[in-house]
Amino acid sequence: MLKWFNNPATETQVTHGQRLWLYIVAVIIMILLVTPTLIVVPMSFSDSQYLEFPPENWSTRWYDFYFGSDEWMLATWTSVKAAFLTMLVATPIGVLAAYGLHASKVKFVRAAFVLMLTPMMVPVVLIAIGAFYAYVQLGILYTITGLVLAHTVLALPLVIIVTGSALQGYDMSQEEAARSLGAPRWKAFLTVTLPQIRFAVVTSALLSFLTSFDEVVVAMFVSGGDNPTLTRNMFNALRDQIDPTIASISTIMILVTTFMMVLAQMFGQEKKKPK
Amino acid sequence: MQTVRINQSGLRTDERLERLKLFGLSSPALLMILVILVLPVGWLFYVSFIGANGEFSLENYERMISRKSYARIFWTTFQVSFLTTGLCILIGYPLAYFLSQLPPRLANLGLITVLLPFWTSLLVRTYAWLVLLQKQGLVNDWAISLGLWDEPIKMVHNMTGTLIGMVHIMLPFLILPVYGAMRSIDLDLMKAASNLGANPRRAFWNVFFPLTMPGLMAGALMVFILCLGFFVTPAVLGGGKVIMVSMQIVSNIELFVNWGAASALGVVLLVLTVAILWIASRFLNLEQMTGGGGH
């Protein structure tokens, strides 16, 4: 062990001992990155009105309250519905767009690509109040349709970036081969191209789901009435006081996102192995 | 000869049609972005030039210049954005460096600590800091029992809390591109520097650090721009004391129903963002940013 301290750690012969400070700093930062979120999990099982760690008495009362509350259940249901629909709309539309932009070599592809990325660049508050105004005119304020449309727009750049970069690594001449053997373009796409970019497509779908599920600002403006989202209600609750129910909801949300991302990682990883 | 020419031009028209048809595949996405985003934002742009009497006027912009409260809001926004970006660089760079020096398998394990908060809902993370930093919160409890300070310190509902939350949320956006840049450096260059007589410190600052600049700039730019328009974290952790542009926009709509004022602020925010991106795009490869930030 002591010898390890004197071993060179870098190409410039700095030893591990000399870099001990870096290791300590890095480990502290990593702990600070992870613990604040995870500490909410044990806290949510506390019996007390005041969130304590470690909890003196364990209980599931905040979960019971959450699952027993019509208001929270309605919000959860809205969020899940909106996230699923956003995934179902954004993925095909985004994949089509990514494919179209990749395969077509017209002059304005670059401009179209920039336009597709605008939802990432325009401050989300601006998108939110713009959509709010538009929805009042269209009469779709506080509807799932409106919410899904806005969330789809937010998710599209992610789908286009993820799928687009997969297409960049894909050899389009395979599709040409299929077409020269008589397959129409759509069939060549579905049977030759799509199976090879399927991991990117699945990742895009999961990211679309999460984009909608976690979104706060747009939901604050265009969801409400009979269709408030979970995040909207959480945000409003946070502005008033520290409600322990939020800790239990947070725990559930951490579970959902982790589950989705583990799925995405599993699909993403597989891509690298064969080939 | 004649037929060949006709065939060629026919083929060319065919090809052009085919390209247009392919481009048409992206029209549903373009149409949605146009209707849900571009047109409404264009309308806001228009409204920002309409005064209280319903006619063209610059009063919404004049108000921003003449009123002190607006100057303070812009100052706060820049302050928070600069400090957050600076702190993210100071904290994120060493961690990215540490991870980039590990063998890939270990580094991937370490990267999970960066990705886990990245995936977690923004609201959940903001809530967690609210709970930890409050007066009877864990941080105060532990610090007092360790003897770091005697009285509970107010760390939330002010600038400190806002910055802690913002830095935590923005760190992954900085670390990921910097880590990517560091991984792609050929470490033989460091050996060469040593060989030519540079001491380790000099080799780091003269060879390694400049090579990480593109990643660092892309990450810092991403963080800064995200900070400029940020809403949730300052709204919750700032407790009404840290008012940023986006929050003023929301209260202009929610409390005062003043679309003109809100739109003008929004236009300024958008113009600032686009200007920064445009200037940066002259020096940087922005594709790196979308590749690093959007995983």
ipTM score for this prediction: 0.87
| Least Cα separation, residue A128 to chain B (angstroms) | 9
User: Could you tell me if B259 lies within 8 Å of chain A, comparing CB atoms?
Assistant: yes
- What tens digit of pLDDT does each residue of B20-76 get? 888 889 999 999 999 999 999 999 999 999 988 888 888 889 888 888 889 999 999
Whether residue B65 contacts residue B261, with contact meaning beta carbons closer than 8 Å, is answered with no
Residue B18 domain-assigned (yes or no): no
All residues of chain B having their beta carbon less than 8 Å from the beta carbon of residue A25 are 94-95, 98
- What tens digit of pLDDT does each residue of B258-275 get? 899 999 999 999 999 999
Read off the tokens for B242.
């840290």
Task: At B261, give phi and psi (nearest 5°).
Answer: -65, -45
Residue B30 domain-assigned (yes or no): no
Q: What is the mean predicted confidence (pLDDT) over A247-269? A: 85
CA dihedral over A32, A34, A38, A40, signed as positive or negative? positive
- List the single residue in A37, A116, A125 with the smallest CB-CB distance to B125: A37
Q: What is the mean pLDDT of chain A?
A: 89
Whether residue A243 contacts residue A44, with contact meaning beta carbons closer than 8 Å, is answered with no
Residue B62 domain-assigned (yes or no): no
Confidence (pTM): 0.90
All residues of chain B having their beta carbon less than 8 Å from the beta carbon of residue A121 are 225, 273-274, 277
* Nearest residue on chain A to B249, alpha-carbon basis: A125
**Would you tell me which residues 205-234 of chain B have a C-beta closer than 8 angstroms to some C-beta of chain A?**
225, 228-229, 231-232
- What tens digit of pLDDT does each residue of A5-20 get? 888 888 888 888 888 9
User: Could you tell me if A70 lies within 8 Å of chain B, comparing CB atoms?
Assistant: no
For residue A54, say if its preceding peptide bond is cis, omega within 30 degrees of 0: yes
Whether residue B239 contacts residue B161, with contact meaning beta carbons closer than 8 Å, is answered with yes
Residue B273 domain-assigned (yes or no): yes
Neighbours of A269 (CB within 10 A): 10
User: Could you tell me if B100 lies within 8 Å of chain A, comparing CB atoms?
Assistant: no
Residue B184 domain-assigned (yes or no): yes
Neighbours of A173 (CB within 10 A): 9
**Would you tell me which residues 106-125 of chain A have a C-beta closer than 8 angstroms to some C-beta of chain B?**
106, 108-109, 112, 115-125
Residue B9 domain-assigned (yes or no): no
**Would you tell me which residues 149-178 of chain A have a C-beta closer than 8 angstroms to some C-beta of chain B?**
149-150, 152-153, 156-158, 160-162, 165
Task: Report how far residue B3's alpha carbon sits from residue B90's, in angstroms, rounded to the nearest whole number.
Answer: 69
- What tens digit of pLDDT does each residue of B140-172 get? 888 898 888 888 888 888 999 999 999 999 999
Which residues form the domain of B160?
Answer: 68-293
* pLDDT (0 to 100) of residue B8: 83
Domain CATH number, residue B153: 1.10.3720.10
Task: At B56, give phi and psi (nearest 5°).
Answer: -60, 130
Residue B80 domain-assigned (yes or no): yes
Domain count along chain B: 1
Task: Report how far residue B208's alpha carbon sits from residue A216's, in angstroms, rounded to the nearest whole number.
Answer: 40
Q: Are B117 and A94 a contacting pair at CB < 8 A? A: no
Residue B27 domain-assigned (yes or no): no
| Least Cα separation, residue A2 to chain B (angstroms) | 20
- Under DSSP, is residue A110 helix (H, G, I), strand (E, B) or coil? helix
